[in-house]
Amino acid sequence: MGDFLARPIEGDWPYLWLDATYMKVREAGRIVSVAVGVNTDGRHEVLGMVVGSSEAEPFWLDFLRGLARRGLRDVKLVVSDAYEGLKAAVTKVLRGTWQRCRVHFARTPLAHAGKAQRRIVSAWIGTAYAEPDAEGAKRQWRAVADQLWPKVPKLGALMDGAEEDVLACMTFPAAHRVKLHSTNPSSTSTARSSAAPMWSAYSRTRPPSCGSSAPSSSNSPTNGPSSGRAT
């Protein structure tokens, strides 16, 4: 297993998914991070796996630098949840675009909406994802945020802050986007799920190391928030 995790990474891997989870290992409270890549031939596989005690920037820097030393290059988009320090590490090591996982992000705005409004808010935000290009997605995102600001300022502010990261994949080919917006795409689920038994075998032989009807600008719902940004 050590040979597999230390193998050279050959070729170009334009898309990289980074996921972290807590697993029952010999040291409690450890975080297992898994990197799944897709190469230019469309093949996806686990490129790396490491365990650490936190999700801070030094942990991610060490992990990503290890992947780079093994040959990982030409990464265009990194998809992950908003782990602490990860975005900065991606910028420093891989210099690729970072896509915040939409599945994880979706849970955050719902915490600011009442139970009766959660499905509506989710549907409104989803209209931006349905746009055919980045320009349309940003325009619709802004329309939804502007509608929500007067009634739920925290939600409006959240959308302002997340716009660039959540819509990052919209600049990539349309045929790829359905698999690029989340760390849970079907194309990588098998590879990621294989990491658990792999780690189980690896950890037995080697000690752990510390190494992403809706409002529009012209047609607002009758009962929805009024348009315009609160001042």
Pairwise pLDDT comparison (194 vs 215), residue with the higher score: 215
Q: In angstroms, how far is CA 32 from the centroid of its own chain?
A: 16
Q: Which amino acid is at 225?
A: P
Encoded tokens for 205: 């032989």
Residue 16 pLDDT > 90:
yes
Report the distance separating Cα 171 and Cα 181, nearest Å. 11
pLDDT recorded at residue 179? 85
Pairwise pLDDT comparison (25 vs 42), residue with the higher score: 42
Mean pLDDT of 20-45: 78
Report the distance separating Cα 199 and Cα 34, nearest Å. 10
Report the distance separating Cα 143 and Cα 141, nearest Å. 5
pLDDT recorded at residue 191? 41
Supply the mean pLDDT for the chain: 80
- List own/partner pairs for 197-204 with CB under 8 A and 24 or more apart: 198/1, 198/4, 198/46, 198/49, 199/23, 199/25, 199/32, 199/49, 199/51, 201/1, 202/1, 202/2, 202/5, 202/49, 203/25, 203/26, 203/51
Q: Element (H or E) spanning 209, and its range?
A: none
Confidence tier at 12 by pLDDT (50, 70, 90): very high
Mean pLDDT of 112-130: 89
Report the distance separating Cα 141 and Cα 147, nearest Å. 10
Pairwise pLDDT comparison (178 vs 169), residue with the higher score: 169
Q: 120-149 burial string, b = 16+ CB within 10 Å, else e?
A: bbeebbebbbebeeeeebbebbbbbbbbbb
pLDDT digits 0-9 by tens, 174-214: 989 888 888 864 334 444 444 444 434 434 444 333 333 45
Report the distance separating Cα 123 and Cα 214, nearest Å. 7
Task: Please state the pTM of the whole predicted model.
Answer: 0.76
Q: Write the DSSP symbol of residue 29.
A: T
pLDDT recorded at residue 114? 79
pLDDT digits 0-9 by tens, 219-229: 333 344 433 44
Mean pLDDT of 137-153: 94
- In the three-class reduction of DSSP (H, G, I as helix; E, B as strand; rest coil), residue 11 is classed as coil
Strand partners, 34: 19, 49
